[in-house]
Amino acid sequence: MDFHPKDLPIFKTYDLKDEKDASKAVDDMVDLGFSTRKEGFKVLIPKEEKLAKRIGYSITTGVIYGLGKKNEVRDIKYWTYHHDSEHYAIVLISNKALEDLGF
């Protein structure tokens, strides 16, 4: 990997507190779509290990499932990293957008 996911262009950032917020973020990302965007989405998750794992799983599987329900391309790349002392971050972007950006 020749770049860090924090360097990708971001269309919208979600600062989540719990799994309920994760569900809303998934619905919003799926509604906004990935295939027509040249940017990705960033999801900030609290650094509570059990909560972070549940939210991360909800986000990644929810987006793939939601795009499948809408018969949209599910070719999504995502990375998880330490964003700051209080958050992990997940960056999601379509593989086509990533290729168009030269990565």
| Residue 17 domain-assigned (yes or no) | yes
CATH code where residue 76 lies: 3.30.110
User: What is the total count of domains within the chain?
Assistant: 1
pLDDT value at residue 103: 80
Q: Is 74 helix (H, G, I), strand (E, B) or coil?
A: coil
Q: Is 71 helix (H, G, I), strand (E, B) or coil?
A: coil
| Residue 40 domain-assigned (yes or no) | yes
pLDDT value at residue 82: 94
Range of the domain at 85: 9-96
- Closest by alpha carbon to 92, among 2, 1, 17, 12? 12
Instruction: Report pTM.
Output: 0.91
Q: How far is CA 41 from CA 25, 45, 50, 91, 95, in A?
A: 10, 13, 22, 6, 13
Q: What is the pLDDT of residues 13-59, one digit of tens each?
A: 999 999 999 999 999 999 999 988 899 999 999 999 899 999 999 99
What is the longest distance spanned by two Cα atoms in the chain?
38
